[in-house]
Amino acid sequence: MLRFFAPLALSLVVASPAMAEGYYSAVPTTAPAKASIVTRSTVWKCADGACTAAKAGSRDAIMCELLVREVGPVSRFAAAGTDFDAAALEKCNARAKG
């Protein structure tokens, strides 16, 4: 029985840091005024110059656009650990407020 639960427990410990980072991560060029931002039904947590959120039902590009409408341009946006390339980031930032 221990052979079954030990790997399971270990997988939970290993997965915890990745889950804490969120599926989406972004670095706004200006620190957000709020620690928590809601875009549609997604809650973004912002701290130490970065914002993270859990996976949502929208495409990754849409999630980026929704965030920049709230916080302004971002210098980095990643989904599932993969950074947007320069062209995708530029397109996303074109939707920024102001």
Quickly list DSSP for 29-90: SS--S-SEEEETTEEEEEETTEEEE---SS-HHHHHHHHHHHH--EEEEEETTEE--HHHHH
pLDDT level of residue 3 (50, 70, 90 thresholds): low
What's the pLDDT score for residue 98?
A: 65
The answer on pLDDT for 89 being more than 80 is yes
The answer on pLDDT for 72 being more than 60 is yes
CB 51 within 8 A of CB 30: no
The answer on pLDDT for 91 being more than 70 is yes
- In the chain, the N- to C-terminal Cα span, in Å, equals 59
Please give the average per-residue pLDDT across 51-65, as a whole number: 97
Model-level pTM? Answer: 0.77
